[in-house]
Structure 1
Amino acid sequence: MIMTMHDDEEYLFRALKVGASGYLLKNAYDEEMLEAIRAVYGGGIYIHPSVAPALVREFLTKNEVDEKINSYELLSKREQEILPLIALGYGNKEIAEKLFVSVKTVEAHKTSIMHKLGFEKRTDLVHYAIKKKFD
């Protein structure tokens, strides 16, 4: 299937998600349409060059998020216990009380979590935890 659409990233992503193998803009020339049809018919893909950068950006962003989600497995058991509590808004003292450890221990684990996941700010850690969807 080849889609002819607008120069809008959202249309591109939707088309690809539903199985499009080609993407042209509405104002594509006849030669370009033939090129796209040949490419797709031959088992390949065709993406209009003006929307290709958006596709690459989306791929790289998704890849980065997936890597961080997968890096959750690098966390120790205790770090995996602490992360959802951080996401729920508990402070270091509250987390320490819940887990029967010292505040310094919580701070050390939080620093380790941020290092392992590549975050610099607590807010990044909270956003990550929300995306991870802890129960």
Structure 2
Amino acid sequence: MNLQKTLLMICVCVGLAACSGGLLSRDESKGFSQQGEASFYADKFQGRLTANGERFNQRAQTAAHKRLPFGVKVRVTNIANNKSTVVRINDRGPFVSGRVIDLSKSAFRRIANTQEGVIDVKVEVIER
């Protein structure tokens, strides 16, 4: 039964991602840049499966993006203080209007105080 739930969740995530403007290929992601809002995962997601099948870890340098391929590394820069961090895309989202990326809590802490909750960022693909 647990396997069925997992497979259903993966199918739903892939379906949602396909409806969000289309996934970019690795070649299409070259030079990709985007500005918008970033937030971080709530603690309740710790240990849950991400869209690529990994267990989510708040201490990992990972993130969710709607269109970038899994495994792509991006530099996320806080526009307010120019601090940046590099994360690997392993999940889909965010599904909140205006947000372009969801970061693990440890990645968010590298560029902002978690009390801020949502920050303006620039996202740039650095490694495909």
Bigger relative CO (Cα 8 Å, ≥ 6 apart): 2
| Larger Rg, first or second structure (1 or 2) | 1
Higher helix share: 1
TM-score normalised per structure 2: 0.26
Higher strand share: 2
